[in-house]
Structure 1
Amino acid sequence: MSMALQGSLLDVADHPELRTLTTGLQRTVLTRGAWVDYRPGWLGGAEELFDQLHRVVPWHAERREMYERMVDVPRLLKFYGEGETLPHPVLAEARDQLSRHYGPELGEPFVTAGMCLYRDGRDSVAWHGDRIGRAKNLDTMVAILSVGSARSLMLRPRGGGESIGFSLGHGDLVVMGGSCQRTWDHCIPKTAKAVGPRISIQFRPRGVR
């Protein structure tokens, strides 16, 4: 795969490194007991991490049934289960920092890492909530670290309503917590704009997909 990536002019780190999590961390309180935390630029050296993940992660395509027919999933995927070695040490450090920071509120650590590669503006993920497993009935958290070109993460109340959005890329972090997976939906919409590729790393606790 050949991909053109426009780096961030604000990221001057020469290797992947995490910055202070709490500096610049902003919480948006939503309805129905949901909330979203946003920490722009948490990871320095994000473009180098993108390059390494793009090279070493064994990305694969999937097909899923939708509207009574099989369709291509519009992104490439890889899932690292509990106990699997992550493809870069900074990701294990990120998972551990998130577990320490959110552990008192979450009550357990983050243990898995799902990854998505959005190759261009045609790749996307439809409106959904991570409701497979315990998140169907219980409050939980999903933390998403993004590297590569920025894409919009949109959220709206489940069943419809006014949406809000965050620009994610270049080492940005968003954490969806409280009832967010049950009472709100989120998506990465397609775009006709010329955008480069993006990789998202989704950290979750045990039994949540």
Structure 2
Amino acid sequence: MDFQGSLFAPPTGGLAFDEVARHRLTRGAWVDVTRSWLPDADDVFRALVADVPWRAERRQMYDRVVDVPRLVHTYVAGEDLPHAALTAARAALTAHYEPELGEPFVTAGCCYYRDGRDSVAWHGDTIGRGKTQDTMVAIVSVGDPRRLVLRPRGGGESTSIEMGHGDLVVMGGSCQRTWEHAVPKVAHAGPRISVQFRPLNVF
């Protein structure tokens, strides 16, 4: 199964949810996809590149310390976001999903994939409450398209979503604890930034 849609159409969104497509996974997990959701995606991308205080991280892997293959920054609860469209996006996500989620989106984690060599390995957001509770992670993608791959924990058929410029992907239900997701390396890709909106204490 592949959720690929129209990848290169210019964003025409206005933070509406009338074209959201929900894809049911297994074990209570689901993924919502809304194409061209974020308005002013070009301007948002430029502002994120210029204004986010990006940092490179290093991580212990087996017997050595390696560079994390992307740049990162997190805006915690109460911090101003670097573009008004993202502030509006967070408010719109809360208004739409809070009846189902039960709480607002409050943090915004940013990842800068500079080219096809940058990636994120298989994982679920299970450091916080996502390990034991249903929750949501809403991803807004700007820049070059990249593929988000999902697979059930413990084995099973994987699926993927091509995330285009201005697209919104929301992982919900049990997705963080019963499925894993990754952004694999590719041979060629331009820069892309993802903004992950989360409730409090979900990492």
CA positional deviation for 1:75? 0.1
How far apart, CA to CA, are the structure 1 residues paired with 2:176 and 2:11? 34
Q: Please tell me whether residue 81 in structure 1 is matched to residue 80 in structure 2.
A: no
Q: In the alignment, does 2:118 pair up with 1:119? A: no
User: Is the Cα–Cα contact under 8 Å of residues 11 and 44 in structure 1 kept in the other structure?
Assistant: no
2:11 and 2:167 map into 1 onto residues whose CA distance is 15
1:205 aligned residue: 199
Is 1:128 paired with 2:109?
no
Match of 1:26 in 2: 21
**CA distance 1:62–1:12, shift in 2 (3 Å):** closer
- Give the corresponding residue for 2:10: 11
- In terms of mean alpha carbon deviation, does 20-29 or 101-110 score higher? 20-29
Give the 3 Å change call, closer, same or farther, for CA 12–63 of structure 1 in structure 2.
closer
| Shift of residue 43, structure 1, vs aligned partner | 1.2
Aligned-partner Cα distance in 1 for 2:147–2:176? 18
**Aligned counterparts of 1:124 and 1:12: Cα–Cα separation in 2:** 24
1-structure distance, mates of 2:151, 2:29:
11
User: Letter of the aligned partner of 1:146 in structure 2?
Assistant: S
Normalised by the size of structure 2, how large is the TM-score? 0.93
Give CA deviations for 1:150-206 in whole Å, capped at 9, x if unaligned.
0000000012221111111310000000000000000000001x2110000000000
What are the equivalent positions in structure 2 for 1:73-112 lying under 5 Å apart?
Answer: 73-112=68-107
Residue 200 of structure 2 aligns with an amino acid whose one-letter code is R
Retained in 1: the 8 A contact 2:136–2:172? yes
Give, in whole Å, the separation in 2 of the partners of 1:65 and 1:95. 33
Contact 1:11 1:45 in 2 (8 A): no
Measure the CA separation in 2 of the matches of 1:132 and 1:12. 33
Structure 2 distance, partners of 1:72, 1:51, is 25
Root mean square deviation of aligned Cα: 1.3
Q: Deviation string for 1:13-41 (max 9, x for gaps)?
A: 6xxxx524223200000000000000010
Structure-1 residue corresponding to 2:3: none
CA drift at 1:10: 2.7
Contact conserved, 2:15 with 2:92, CA < 8 A, in 1?
no
Give the ranges of 4+ consecutive aligned residues of structure 1 lying more than 2 Å apart after TM superposition.
Answer: none
Aligned residues: 197
Shift of residue 12, structure 1, vs aligned partner:
6.5
SS in 2 for 1:97: helix
Is residue 2:195 matched to residue 1:196? no
Separation (CA, whole Å) in 1 of partners of 2:80 and 2:43? 19
Within 2, Cα distance between the matches of 1:56 and 1:32?
40
Q: How far did 1:9 drift? A: 5.7
Residue by residue, what CA displacement relative to the aligned partner does 1:24-77 show, whole Å, maximum 9, x if unpaired? 200000000000000010013212211111011110100011123211000000
